[in-house]
Amino acid sequence: MDASHVQTDDHHPTGVFKVTLDGKRNPDFLIVPDAAYDFIDVTGKLLELAAGADCFCFGTVAQRAPVSRSALHRLLEAAGAAVKFLDINLRPDCFFRETITESLRKANVLKMNLSEAHYLAELFEISISSLPDFCAEIMEGWSLSCCLVTMGEHGAFAASVDGKKVYVPGYSIRVVDTCGSGDAFAAGFIHEYLRSKPLADCCRLGNALGAMVAMQRGATTSLSIEEVRHFLKAKHRRFHEPSLRNFETG
């Protein structure tokens, strides 16, 4: 990983995420405020990187403080035609309505988990009795090209503006630590999406990577291509969401 553009800050402490796991090994985050990640500076090099990016991934946590929020908006503008992938990540005390709406305006692809989908449904007064209809309304309302909802052990649902809808069931695995599983899903999805793979393939790789990370301790698990291929070929038991059977793919 190239870390040459990671900034150092002589005036603010290194950022800390305090993570606790519930009985189902799901994480709860306390993101300590007034840390270096709240004071990101826009440099010429960062603007160059943004301008040359194929995909720009962002969320709401980096926007909780005004300095980093302003920096992010400048970088998003510099990114031009890059895919803007919004992994919304609604963490306690790290977002407000304006952050959400402004992020949706700038995004092409929206990723959220099921609890975040319910939050957005309540915030924007959209019915979520049908997940496909909810995603369609979100895409129409915010001019998105794609909407993704991850559902933990029950897999993931995705819809695109061209009318495609797919559901990939989850994996029955021994969960050790789900920290980083959402990021792993995003990485797998984007890897295929930027190569113009079918929506089902994008979700399939994302789903597999999310499960593989959940089977190991820590949020930054190193996975080899061989391990990923082996996992995808293995005959795992799957968890299905009955309401999405009509959209199911392997």
The whole-number average pLDDT for the span 102-116 is: 98
Determine phi and psi for 157, rounding to 5 degrees.
Answer: -120, 140
Q: What 3-state DSSP class applies to 58?
A: strand
- C-alpha count within 13 angstroms, C-beta hemisphere, residue 199: 22
Distance in angstroms (rounded) separating the CA atoms of residues 193 and 172 = 25
Quickly list H helices, 59-128.
66-78, 97-106, 114-123
- Greatest mean pLDDT among 9-18, 80-89, 215-224 lies in 80-89
- Digit-coded pLDDT (tens) for 186-200: 999 999 999 999 999
- On the question of pLDDT at 30 being above 90, the answer is no
Distance in angstroms (rounded) separating the CA atoms of residues 84 and 79 = 8
> In which band, very low, low, confident or very high, does the pLDDT at 33 lie, cut at 50, 70 and 90?
confident
Question: What residues does 109 pair with on adjacent strands?
Answer: 85, 146
- C-alpha count within 13 angstroms, C-beta hemisphere, residue 73: 14
Question: What residues does 19 pair with on adjacent strands?
Answer: 29
Residue 143's identity, in one-letter code, is S
Under 8 Å between Cβ of 110 and 104: yes
The reported pTM is 0.92
pLDDT of residue 16: 86
pLDDT of residue 178: 85
66-78 helix and 44-51 helix, angle to the nearest 10 degrees? 50
**DSSP 8-state secondary structure symbol assigned to residue 127:** -
pLDDT, mean over the chain: 93
**In the chain, domain spans:** 143-250
Strand 55-58 relative to strand 83-87: parallel, antiparallel, unpaired? parallel
Under 8 Å between Cβ of 150 and 182: yes
pLDDT of residue 101: 98
pLDDT of residue 50: 98
In the numeric block, the tokens 């800050």 are attached to 9
- Digit-coded pLDDT (tens) for 41-98: 999 999 999 999 999 999 999 999 999 999 999 999 999 999 999 999 999 888 999 9
- Give the residue, 1 or 138, on which the prediction is more confident: 138
Nearest by Cα to 19 from 181, 154, 209? 181
Provide the token pair at 133: 């209809």
Nearest by Cα to 150 from 29, 23, 26? 26
- On the question of pLDDT at 137 being above 80, the answer is yes
- Give the residue, 249 or 89, on which the prediction is more confident: 89
Annotation: CATH topology of 143-250? UDP-N-acetylmuramoyl-L-alanine:D-glutamate ligase (3.40.1190)
pLDDT of residue 21: 75
pLDDT of residue 32: 84
Nearest by Cα to 172 from 235, 246, 244, 233? 235
The whole-number average pLDDT for the span 9-22 is: 86
The whole-number average pLDDT for the span 34-47 is: 95
